Amino acid sequence: DTGVSQDPRHKITKRGQNVTFRCDPISEHNRLYWYRQTLGQGPEFLTYFQNEAQLEKSRLLSDRFSAERPKGSFSTLEIQRTEQGDSAMYLCASSGGRLIGETQYFGPGTRLLVL
């Protein structure tokens, strides 16, 4: 396993459309995190899972956002009725491996542009 992967790497959509992003964590990692990064800022926490349970959600995660992690493996982040303010880089991270410990390792991100 070479690391956290995310798909797609880039997404351009029109305002009002729904988008879905996928994250595949490092195998055996039981924790998975979603962050959002806008220009000139550091990543901001959105939500995190331990196995399939969603344990914490940020107030940034409006009701248009939903994240799932079925079977505790990959995760999806869906944004419904996208708005221009949703344009950002969406980052996924994982941690909790027996050998690696709790350090969060990030994927390459999905860059979303809402027109």
Residues that bind another protein (CB under 8 A): 4, 6, 31, 33, 35, 40-45, 48, 56, 58, 91, 93, 95-96, 101-109, 111
Single-letter amino acid code for the residue at 73? S
Residue with Cβ nearer another protein (85 or 101): 101
Task: Give the shortest CB-81-to-another protein separation in angstroms.
Answer: 26
**DSSP one-letter string for 49-93:** EETTEEEEE-TTS-TTEEEE-GGGS-EEEEESS--GGG-EEEEEE
Nearer CB in complex with another protein: 75/104 = 104
Rounded Cα distance between 32 and 28, Å, is 11
For another protein, which is the closer residue by CB, 50 or 80? 50
Q: How far is the CB of 77 from another protein (least distance, A)?
A: 15
